[in-house]
Amino acid sequence: MLLRRFVLVLFTAGLAAAGDLDTEVASVLPKPEEERWLSIPWRTNLFQARLDAQAAGRPLLIWVMDGHVLGAT
C-alpha cells in the first residue's frame, strides 16, 4: 500500500512539474509517420487480394498468426 502511494505521489509530481497535461498526452500519442501502416489498403478476401496483386504485377504478402489474439500463447 505504501508503494502505491509513493508511486502516485511521484506520478502526480511529474505531471505538476510538466505543467500541461495536454503536452504529456501528446508525447505518448503516435506521430503521423508512425501511423503510415493505417493507409495501406489491407485485403480481407484472399481471392480478391490475389487478383489485385496479379493485376498490379506485385507480390502478395500473406500474414498469418496462430494463437491467442492478445499474444498470450
Q: Which residues have C-beta within 8 Å of that of residue 73, sequence separation ≥ 6?
A: 67
- Residue type (1 letter), 41: P
For 16, the grid coordinates are: 505538476
The CA angle 38-41-47, to the nearest 5 degrees, is 140
CA Rg value for the chain = 22
Q: Which has the closest alpha carbon to 62: 72, 53, 39?
A: 53
pTM reported for the whole predicted model: 0.43
Could you report the per-residue pLDDT of 43-61, keeping only the tens digit for each? 889 999 999 999 999 999 9
Q: Is the pLDDT of residue 62 over 70?
A: yes
Q: Which of 8-17, 29-38, 58-67 has the lowest mean pLDDT?
A: 8-17
